[in-house]
Amino acid sequence: MKLSVIGCGYLGAVHAACMAELGHEVVGIDVDATKVTGLSAAQPGLYEPGLVEILARNLANGRLRFTTDYAAAAEAKVHFLGVGTPQKRGENAADLAYVFAALDSLAPYVAPGALVVGKSTVPVGTAATLETRLHEVQPEAALAWNPEFLREGVAVADTISPDRIVYGLPAGDQAELAQALLDEVYAQALAAGTPLVVADYATAELVKVAANAFLATKISFINAMSEIADTVGADVTKLADAIGYDARIGRKFLNAGVGFGGGCLPKDIRAFRARAEELGLSDTLTFLKEVDTINLRQRERVVQLTEEALGGQLMDRRVAVLGLAFKPESDDIRDSPALDVAVRLHGLGAEVACTDPKAIPNAARRHPQLHYVEDTFETLRDAEAVLLLTEWSQYRELQPEALAEVTSGRIVIDGRNVLDPARWRTAGWTYVGIGRS
C-alpha cells in the first residue's frame, strides 16, 4: 500500500521505517529539514536498536523516502499522523498545535476514499474535532484513531509485532472504508493472530492514556511500598515477587527505584488529569496527581539516601552517576529521573561525574554544567559514592571487587534495585537500595 507518515520524530520515524519493512511504500513527511536529511541518510538522530538497519534497508530498496513536501502525500491511500503532543509550558494539558497543523497541511492532499489515521497520544475528543476539520476540506476521506503502544528500546519489534491493535472508527458509514484500509495496513500482524479491538474514537483515544496511567500507577504503587519497606526494614523486591505471582497483579512494572520518566508516562498522566478537569470530572483522576508526586519524590529520596550514606554532607563530595537516559537501550533524556538526580546532586555542591552508553550528547546539550565521562571506570575513579540510576546491562554486571580498585569510597546507591546486595556487602560495600533495607 502507499502510505504517508506525517511527523518523523520517535513515533513517526519508527512507524514509517517499520511499515516499509512490512512491504508498504512509505513517504515520511516532516517540517524539519534537518530531520528529513538525516532520515534520508538512515541517520535518525536518536538511538533505537534496529532502527538504522531497517531505515537503510528500505531507503535502499526504494520503499521508503522522507521529504518536507506535503504534496508527496497525494498518492498515499492511508496517512498516519505521528506528530508530538508535548505538555504545554506551565500547564498540565497537552499541546495539540502540531496535530492540528499537520492535519491542516495534509488535508488538501488527501484523496477521496483515502484514510487519515491518528497515532499521536491525544486528549479524548480530539479525533472528532480532526474529523470535522478534515471533512471541511475532503468530505470523502475518512479518519480513524489507532493508538501506538511502542516502548522505546524495543520500538521496532513493538511496531512490527504489536501485542494488540486498536481501531477507533468513525461513527457513520465511513467506518467500513476505514476498517478495510486499516486491515490491509496491518494484514501481517492480523494474520499472525494479534488481538484486535474495534471501537469508537473516544474509546481508542482513552485506551492509550488509560494504559499509560495504569503503568504509571503500578510503578508509583510499588515505590510507595518501598518507602514503607525502608521504614519497617522490609524488602520491596521480595514483596513485588510475592504479589507478582498473583496473576491478577503480575510482576511487570513493579520494580521500585528512582521512578518513571520519558516522553510519555509523565506528560500523559498530567494531560489526562487536565482533560478530566475540562470534562467536569476534577475528582475522578486526582489519584494521578498522587502518582506523579510519589514518582517525583523518589528522585529526592535517592538524593537524600546519597547524602545520608555520605554522612550528611554532599558539598564537594565526589559522586559517580551511572546512567542518564530515562531507561536502558535509549538515548532519551526527556524527564529522565537519572539525569534529574545528577543535576540535583550537582546543585547541592557534590562533584558529580556521570556517564551513559548513549545519552551523554543529549544530556550535555541540556545540562552543560555536569561533568560527563565516556568511560565507565574513569567515571568511577576516586568516587566516594556510586549511583546506578539507569539499569544498562553493563552497569548491572559490574563486579564490586573490580570497582573497589578505582573508587575511593565503597558506597553504592542502587537506584534501580538491580544489584545483588549480599554480593556487594560481602565485597565490603555499603549497599543502599530502594526499599531493600
Measured from the CB of residue 271, what is the shortest distance to ligand UDX in angstroms? Answer: 13
CA distance 374 to 354: 8
Stretch that binds ligand UDX, among 53-61, 142-150, 355-363, 379-387 (CB under 6 A): 142-150
* Residue reference for cell 547524602: 307
Taking alpha carbons only, the member of 158, 116, 120, 153 closest to residue 134 is 116
Q: Would you count residue 259 as binding ligand UDX (CB under 6 A)?
A: yes
**Of these residues, 8, 18, 264, 354, which one is catalytic?**
264
Q: Would you count residue 326 as binding ligand UDX (CB under 6 A)?
A: yes
Residue count, binding to ligand UDX (CB under 6 A)? 20
In the set 110, 264, 319, 398, which binds ligand UDX (CB under 6 A)? Answer: 264
C-beta closer to ligand UDX: residue 133 or 151: 151
Taking alpha carbons only, the member of 291, 120, 131 closest to residue 209 is 120
Q: Are 156 and 50 in contact (CB under 8 A)?
A: yes
DSSP readout, 162-200?
-S-EEEEE-SSTTHHHHHHHHHHHTHHHHHTT--EEEEE
Taking alpha carbons only, the member of 161, 147, 167, 274 closest to residue 212 is 147
Q: Would you count residue 236 as binding ligand UDX (CB under 6 A)?
A: no
The contact pattern for ligand UDX, residues 184-223, with x = CB under 6 A and - = no contact, is ----------------------------x--x---x----
Q: Are 341 and 299 in contact (CB under 8 A)?
A: yes
Q: Would you count residue 133 as binding ligand UDX (CB under 6 A)?
A: no
Element (H, E) at 60: helix 51-60
Q: Give the start-end residues of each E strand in 107-264.
A: 115-118, 142-145, 165-169, 196-200
State the cell numbers at 306.
546519597
Measured from the CB of residue 146, what is the shortest distance to ligand UDX in angstroms? Answer: 13
Measured from the CB of residue 96, what is the shortest distance to ligand UDX in angstroms? Answer: 18
Stretch that binds ligand UDX, among 143-151, 198-206, 372-380, 394-402 (CB under 6 A): 143-151
CA distance 352 to 333: 17
Measured from the CB of residue 306, what is the shortest distance to ligand UDX in angstroms? Answer: 18
What Å distances lie between residue 80 and 48, 102, 117, 124, 144, CA to CA?
A: 20, 10, 5, 18, 10
Q: Are 352 and 319 in contact (CB under 8 A)?
A: yes
Measured from the Cβ of residue 228, the count of other Cβ atoms closer than 10 Å reads: 12
- Can you tell me whether residue 258 is helix, strand or coil? coil
Q: Is 354 a catalytic residue?
A: no
Q: Give the start-end residues of each E strand in 257-392.
A: 318-322, 351-355, 371-372, 385-388
Q: Sign of the C-alpha dihedral, residues 408, 409, 413, 418?
A: positive
C-beta closer to ligand UDX: residue 73 or 256: 256
Q: Would you count residue 149 as binding ligand UDX (CB under 6 A)?
A: yes
- Can you tell me whether residue 282 is helix, strand or coil? coil
Stretch that binds ligand UDX, among 125-133, 147-155, 224-232, 345-353 (CB under 6 A): 147-155
Q: Would you count residue 261 as binding ligand UDX (CB under 6 A)?
A: yes
Measured from the CB of residue 212, what is the shortest distance to ligand UDX in angstroms? Answer: 6
Measured from the CB of residue 337, what is the shortest distance to ligand UDX in angstroms? Answer: 6
Q: Would you count residue 14 as binding ligand UDX (CB under 6 A)?
A: no
The contact pattern for ligand UDX, residues 327-356, with x = CB under 6 A and - = no contact, is x-----------------------------
Q: Across the strands, what pairs with 78?
A: 3, 115
Using the 8-state DSSP alphabet, how is residue 87 labeled? B
C-beta closer to ligand UDX: residue 168 or 257: 257
Measured from the CB of residue 219, what is the shortest distance to ligand UDX in angstroms? Answer: 4
C-beta closer to ligand UDX: residue 104 or 227: 227
What Å distances lie between residue 150 and 156, 271, 316, 361, CA to CA?
A: 8, 19, 41, 24
In the set 127, 254, 274, 385, which binds ligand UDX (CB under 6 A)? Answer: 254
Q: Would you count residue 301 as binding ligand UDX (CB under 6 A)?
A: no
Measured from the CB of residue 19, what is the shortest distance to ligand UDX in angstroms? Answer: 17
In the set 100, 253, 287, 377, which binds ligand UDX (CB under 6 A)? Answer: 253
Residue type, 409: G
In the set 260, 372, 395, 429, which binds ligand UDX (CB under 6 A)? Answer: 260
Which residues form the interface with ligand UDX (CB under 6 A)? 148-152, 212, 215, 219, 253-255, 257, 259-262, 264-265, 326-327
Known catalytic residues? 264
